[in-house]
Amino acid sequence: MKSQFRQVALIGKYHAAVSGAAASTRAALDDIAHFLHAQGCEVVFDRDTASSAGITGYTTLDVAAIGQQCDLVLVVGGDGTMLGIGRQLARHGVPLIGINQGRLGFITDIPLDLYRATLEPMLRGEYEEDQRSLMHGRVMRDGHCVFEALAMNDVVVNRGATSGMVELRVEVDGHFVANQRADGLIVASPTGSTAYSLSAGGPLLHPSTQGWVLVPIAPHTLSNRPIVLPESSEITIEVVSGRDASANFDMQSLASLLHGDRITVRRSQHSVRFLHPRGWTYFDTLRRKLHWYEK
């Protein structure tokens, strides 16, 4: 039985050549492309991926065109690659499968050496679907939006690299919560609860949890603890004091902040669709990646 996905796009690490992994990346992408073709799929490459890896002989499209035309996207790389692509493709609703060529792989969960055995039944329609919410963050200055971005993992307000703590005023749905003095504050999604938030002492949130977690970074007052909020909330963080603060969106986009700037975080209208092997559970991923005891 052939694939239920007619046109499949391949996207890999954009900077493989810089990291010295160009040869292995090209070999992996080329091997996967041949496998997909044998399954009856029309293979398309992301234009930047093909250029970076030196791959020729395939139709190439930019990410927006992939979202509009393709039935499935295979992302070969690590979680950072998937985060960037997921944000760009969410508005198109195209499903994503992650093949892990990185280290952790919380959202690129298929090991590269097992991709053939894993993908074959998935392409026939044997898979689990998993939808992840996105956050829409904005930086407001004097009533005007000066910066905005989507985030799948987290929105982080950080102190400057050489300065002391920042003081941040936190509101939820227009209600004052607290003024916090800390190195920063993280607003994380369930997907991002295994990223920076976890390192800062935040809880793990199951992907089906409809909530955000608000996590202070090294707070001055130890009673400032992580709090889980409904994802329907709008969270506002105002910079009261502190130098050189910045707002980071999945640690890939940032804006320099001034006193009085207000960072608002709300749920995006878009979500990311992940496909996993049949029988996949979130707990399997946690057990492998966090090295929990296995009986």
Active site residues: 79
Residues in the chain: 295
| CA 140, 141, 144, 149 torsion-angle sign | negative
Phi, psi of 166 (to 5 degrees): -110, 150
Task: Provide the β-strand partners of residue 168.
Answer: 180, 239
Query: At 244, is the secondary structure helix, strand, or coil?
Result: coil
- Residue pair 87/155 in contact (Cβ under 8 Å)? The answer is no
Query: At 253, is the secondary structure helix, strand, or coil?
Result: strand
Task: Tell me which H or E stretch contains 206.
Answer: none
Q: What is the DSSP string of 80-143?
A: HHHHHHHHHHGGGT--EEEEE-SS--SSS-EEGGGHHHHHHHHHTT-EEEEEEEEEEEEEEETT
Which two structure tokens, joined as six digits, stand for 139? 């930086």
Give how far the C-alpha of residue 80 lies from the chain's centroid of Cα atoms, to the nearest Å. Answer: 7
Cβ neighbours of residue 109 closer than 8 Å, sequence gap 6 or more = 98, 100, 276, 280, 285
Alpha helices in the chain (DSSP H): 16-19, 22-38, 47-53, 63-69, 79-89, 115-123, 196-199, 282-289
Cβ neighbours of residue 250 closer than 8 Å, sequence gap 6 or more = 83, 84, 87, 149, 151, 152, 153, 154, 192
Q: How far is CA 130 from CA 67, 133, 150, 276, in A?
A: 18, 10, 19, 8
